[in-house]
Structure 1
Amino acid sequence: MKILQWEYTRKYQVKCIFDEFPETVFLFRRVKDYYFLFSMNGLNKNAIPERKDYVRMEYLLNKELCTLDSYRNRSAFK
């Protein structure tokens, strides 16, 4: 999976499009020092992301925005 496009939207939010789900726009919000998937628009009923896809998207975006260390150190991993 790769990030096709991303951009900052409102304060503490990033809009992102991934190659495996090109018709869906994913909205990430900043939580402390990392970004977490908040919502999505334009879902295709034939290709619905699963939890493993969400984790991969969060990982890729945090890597792109240099917040990967904070994402790995979040309380969910402890």
Structure 2
Amino acid sequence: MKLINWSYAKRYNIKAVFDEFPHVVVLFRQIGGYYFIFSMKGLTKEHIPTRQDYVRMEYLLNKDLGMLDAYIERKYKK
């Protein structure tokens, strides 16, 4: 999976698009020192991301923004 594009959105959010889900806009919010997935727009019943996809998306965005250390050290890890 690759991060195609990201941009800032209203209220300190970030919108991102990934190559495996090009029709889905993923909205991230910041908590602590890292970003997490808040919502997704454009999902279809045929192609729903798994938990592993969510984690990979969060990882890629935080890596691109230089917040990977905070993301790895977060309290809730599974």
The TM-score, its normalising length taken from structure 2, stands at: 0.94
- Contact 1:28–1:36 (CA under 8 A) maintained in structure 2: yes
Structure 1 unaligned blocks of 5 or more: none
**What is the aligned-residue identity percentage?**
56
Q: Which residue of 1 aligns with 2:62?
A: 62
Task: Give the drift of 1:74.
Answer: 0.7
Which amino acid is 1:10 matched to? K
SS at 2:15's partner residue? strand
User: For each residue in 1:6-45, what CA deviation from the matched residue of structure 2 results, as whole angstroms up to 9, or x when unmatched?
Assistant: 0011232100000000000000000011000000001122
Which amino acid is 1:54 matched to? Y
Q: What is the 5 A alignment of 1:1-78?
A: 1-77=1-77
The TM-score, its normalising length taken from structure 1, stands at: 0.94
Which amino acid is 1:20 matched to? E
How many residues align? The count is 77
- Contact 1:23–1:44 (CA under 8 A) maintained in structure 2: no
Which amino acid is 1:21 matched to? F
SS at 1:76's partner residue? coil
Q: Structure 1: which 4+ aligned runs deviate by more than 2 Å? A: none
